[in-house]
Amino acid sequence: MISLKELAKIAGVDVSTISRALNDSPRVKPGTKEKIRKLAYQYNYIPDEVARGLVGKRTNTVGIIIPEFSNTFYSEIIEGLEGVFNQDGFSMLFGKSNYKTENENRIIDLFMRKRVDGIIACSISENSLDDFRKNKINIPLVLVDSFSNISEFDSVSIDNAYGVECVINYLVGLGHRSIGFIGDNIVTKDRYKSYESTLKKSSVNIQMEFIKIGDERNEEGGYLRMMELLGLATKPTAVFAVTDNMAIGAIHAIKASGLKVPEDISVIGFDDIMVSSYIDASLTTVLQPKYDIGKISAELLVKRIKSGMNKFNQNIILKPELIVRNTTKSPTCIE
């Protein structure tokens, strides 16, 4: 790979002509452009995007903070991000946080050193946002799937309360009155509040022994929490898991115990990840428009980068949708 100056010397032109030609400037003759492009390819010349950004104040690079890559919920959001950023000529840098504040801060610091033009932060912690404020980081930030109601940054999220209301009202409508809750210590907070309030509105007793929350996440967490419920003398007739991954783990626990879904226990999840409709008994769940979340978030960030910072933030809340499949039915004996 050669430098810009070396390419200019080979082509017999000045450095500015090389830059204009490679940026398709009308100030350079078509024949000269073609010659320079061929030489750039022949000598493996690659423009230094960071150096260009130092001059032009933009690097056409955005940073994406993702809690975990193994969860297809986030991979579907990335699909939405990618379409917009590719169309607008932005490259993406990724950092995995594992839901840890120290990792989020380290990733933000790395992104700043890489001079990204903006950041998409998925499920970022309140502590990291506090640090963002304290350090007065002057860069566009869009929050995705935030666990807090933050009005001072652009954000895209779903109406969690509405989604859970749909779940509980649906189960109550089927005749369930013993409805268990499975969650983890990250996703649970907002969804539990709606679970509790909707049961109260429905005049259904909240049975605290049916609420199981732990540190383990995804399928493992769902399996372990369901096993705790199955160990009770009286079991719930239906279980709401705060994510599809946990619901899938719960279904495995029920089957391992010799029971059937939904004949013995109904199970319902939240997210509608890709695998949910393909498991043995396709999962009743709440669809989050994940691709749209990514697409809208990317559009917000690109608009903010191109128009500059201003005090008017957009907080977009999308409506989820209940998807009824094969893991729920009326209880065998109406209570």
State the CATH number of the domain containing residue 29.
Answer: 1.10.260.40
Average pLDDT over residues 272-289: 95
- 144: tokens are 């995705």
pLDDT of res. 134: 75
CA distance 101 to 99: 7
Overall domain count for the chain? 3
Q: Is the dihedral of CA 93, 98, 104, 110 positive or negative?
A: negative
Cα three-residue angle 257-189-298, rounded to 5 degrees = 110
pLDDT of res. 148: 65
Q: Is 140 found in the same domain as 63?
A: yes
Q: What percent of the chain has pLDDT over 90?
A: 68
Q: Residue 12, class by beta-carbon neighbours within 10 Å (0-12 exposed, 13-18 middle, 19+ buried)?
A: exposed
Q: How do strand 179-184 and strand 211-214 relate by DSSP bridges?
A: parallel
Q: Domain containing 276: what range?
A: 160-288
CA distance 36 to 20: 10
pTM to 2 decimals? 0.82
Going by C-alpha positions, the residue among 129, 174, 127, 177 that lies closest to residue 155 is 129
Confidence of residue 48 (pLDDT cuts 50, 70, 90): low
- Per-residue pLDDT of 119-142, as tens digits, reads 999 999 888 888 877 776 778 999
CATH label of the domain that carries residue 172:
3.40.50.2300
- Report if residue 334 sits inside a domain: no
Average pLDDT over residues 56-82: 91
pLDDT of res. 284: 98
Q: Is 309 found in the same domain as 230?
A: no
**φ/ψ of residue 162, rounded to 5:** -65, -45
CA distance 324 to 167: 10
- Report if residue 284 sits inside a domain: yes
pLDDT of res. 52: 55
- 326, amino acid identity: N
pLDDT of res. 205: 92
Write the CB contacts of 175 (distance below 8 Å, at least 6 apart in sequence): 330, 331, 334, 335
pLDDT of res. 186: 86
pLDDT of res. 40: 86
3-state secondary structure of 100: coil
Q: Is 295 found in the same domain as 152?
A: yes
pLDDT, the chain, mean: 90
pLDDT of 150 above 60: yes
Q: Is 144 found in the same domain as 99?
A: yes
CA distance 158 to 320: 6
- Per-residue pLDDT of 195-243, as tens digits, reads 999 999 999 999 999 999 999 999 999 999 999 999 999 999 999 999 9
- Per-residue pLDDT of 295-334, as tens digits, reads 999 999 999 998 876 667 899 999 999 999 999 999 986 5
CA distance 224 to 213: 10
pLDDT of res. 275: 93
pLDDT of 11 above 70: yes
Q: Is 255 found in the same domain as 312?
A: no
Q: Is 223 found in the same domain as 125?
A: no
pLDDT of res. 309: 62
- Report if residue 217 sits inside a domain: yes
Confidence of residue 175 (pLDDT cuts 50, 70, 90): very high
Q: Is 186 found in the same domain as 263?
A: yes
- Report if residue 140 sits inside a domain: yes
Confidence of residue 192 (pLDDT cuts 50, 70, 90): very high
User: Element (H or E) spanning 198, and its range?
Assistant: helix 188-201
pLDDT of res. 149: 61
State the DSSP string of 236-261: -SEEEESSHHHHHHHHHHHHHTT--T
- 146: tokens are 């935030």
Q: Is 88 found in the same domain as 144?
A: yes
CA distance 96 to 225: 26
Q: Is 284 found in the same domain as 165?
A: yes
Average pLDDT over residues 76-101: 95
pLDDT of 244 above 70: yes
Q: Is 234 found in the same domain as 143?
A: no
